[in-house]
Amino acid sequence: MKNYWLVKSEPNVWSIDQQKKSGSKGTVWDGVRNYQAANNLKAMKKGDLCFFYHSNIGKEIVGVVEVIKEHFIDPTDKEKRFVAVQLKFKQKLKSPVSLENIKQNTELSNLALIKQSRLSVMPIDSKSWKIICKLGKI
């Protein structure tokens, strides 16, 4: 069974376009230092899909990425306590889905994106995944 996630990045630090340019080898999703977010990275399986969310600037879901390598020690963590995953670009949403639109949709009110807005890696249930895909016109 495939699981769904949401990962956040500030577009001036790492954008969906940069993710796309990383090609089939993808990129290491590192630098996560929150234990709950790190546990979510550990739960990711190869083939799982993630929404790519531009945080701070834009505040919108802009694309989909795929987990191509399950968790491993984050190379940026000198203490070797945190993990990273490898993510590959899949597609951009035809229509980005803003946080404002998500908040206005009562069917999405249970999302961690609303309830735990600071969390950088979070699960998305399959019903919400389908709703957001529809809103994003994919």
Please report the pLDDT score of residue 71 as a whole number: 98
94 exposed, middle or buried (CB, 10 Å; 0-12, 13-18, 19+)? exposed
Please report the pLDDT score of residue 78 as a whole number: 96
Taking only the tens place, the pLDDT of each residue in 97-128 is 999 999 999 999 999 999 998 999 999 999 99
Taking only the tens place, the pLDDT of each residue in 40-97 is 999 999 999 999 999 999 999 999 999 999 999 999 999 999 999 999 999 999 999 9
Average pLDDT over residues 14-27: 97
Please report the pLDDT score of residue 136 as a whole number: 98
Q: Does residue 66 contact residue 23 with C-beta atoms inside 8 Å?
A: no
Please report the pLDDT score of residue 59 as a whole number: 96
Domain extent listing, the chain:
4-132
Please report the pLDDT score of residue 2 as a whole number: 87
User: Does residue 1 register a pLDDT over 90?
Assistant: no
**Hey, which residues does 85 pair with through a beta bridge?**
29
4-132 CATH fold: ph1033 like fold (3.10.590)
| Strands of 10-136, DSSP E | 27-29, 49-54, 60-73, 83-98, 121-124
